[in-house]
Amino acid sequence: MNVLVLLPVQARHRTQLERAVPGARLTYASAQSVTDEQIEAAEVIIGNLDPERLPRARRLRLLQLNSAGYDNYVAAGTLPAQAGLACATGAYGQAVSEHMLAMVLSMMKRLPAYRDAQRAHAWTDEGEVTTLRGAKVLVLGAGDIGTHFATLAAALGARVRGIRRSAHGPRPPFEAVVSMDGLFSELAGADVVVSFLPSTPETRGLANGRFFSAMRRGAYFANGGRGDLVVTEDLVAALESGRLAGAALDVTDPEPLPADHPLWDAPGALVTPHVAGWYHLAVTLDNIVDISAENLRRLAAGEEPRNLVRI
């Protein structure tokens, strides 16, 4: 088996991957430096190869992404017909949930304003703050990352409800999980709305003027899923009007956010440049290698890969 690895692996990761398929030939490169010849020889590619280069992978049996999202790879003709696609769901829960919790708490405790005051050498009191204890938190996308976030919020005393395709009753850390049909009724009662929804035709543009108008006045919004969930102009308007107390965004539409975009200066906006995931937290890469090694073993044994995407 020829395996092409496009991850920034360390020696211990290489050992783990090589032990998963003894006798296989593993080639290590980066998504930027990989050659056409390496792509053509690969039966398995581990890492997010540019979709435009995938037609060269004529021997490909499995593309194992390093991302939980896979929307760039599902268009007809992107993958060779015989190849499977697996994502890295389960790798990012800790990293993204911790980042988004930190952003939400920063807004609630007015820390960005105090940072601005520090830079201005101003000893100022920014006034009242809010808390997650007793707050009603609505998590959109109650999968791996959403459940990690809900666990952290519940540990701080929040009452957490979730939104996903199918509803179910109380199941810690959620008081309840309702279907998308109940979204707008749930928005009205939430103090904090946090989204980890993927990019799909159903979710693109979902967070629009109607969405923000349905939220309780003075509530907080956070997005750690995909930027195209949000109609950015409508979010800016909701912040400028005071409808929202703040918005924490690790993803935006567009990305990168242009330097002159009004979102940068919108009142209450806290923006980070899509860095909650990636490999900033070391355990994330460990998790991706774990998934990849497991799927190499499964492929060698003729078993279905973990996180197989149904296209």
Question: CA 265, CA 24: separation in Å to the nearest integer?
Answer: 53
- Kindly give, in sequence order, each residue whose CB lies less than 8 Å from that of residue 181, ignoring residues fewer than 6 positions away: none
Question: CA 245, CA 73: separation in Å to the nearest integer?
Answer: 37
CA 224 to chain centre: 5
Own/partner pairs for 62-67, CB < 8 Å, 24+ apart?
62/86, 62/295, 62/299, 62/305, 64/88, 64/291, 64/292, 64/295, 64/305, 66/6, 66/7, 66/91, 66/288, 67/277
**In a 10 Å sphere around its CB, with 0-12 CB exposed, 13-18 middle and 19+ buried, how is residue 309 labelled?**
middle
What type of residue sits at position 83?
A
Is there a catalytic annotation at residue 255? yes
Is there a catalytic annotation at residue 274? yes
| Angle, helix 11-20 to helix 282-300, in steps of 10 degrees | 20
Is there a catalytic annotation at residue 148? no
Question: Catalytic one among 61, 261, 274, 298?
Answer: 274
Residue 249 β-bridge partners: 223, 271
What is the DSSP track for 129-174? ---STT-EEEEE--SHHHHHHHHHHHHTT-EEEEE-SS-B--BTTB
Residue 220 β-bridge partners: 192, 246
Question: Catalytic one among 126, 233, 255, 303?
Answer: 255
How much helix, strand and coil, in percent to the nearest 5, is found in the chain? 35, 15, 45
Contact 220, 108 (CB under 8 A): yes
Question: Catalytic one among 99, 161, 226, 243?
Answer: 226
Q: Which residues are catalytic?
A: 226, 255, 274
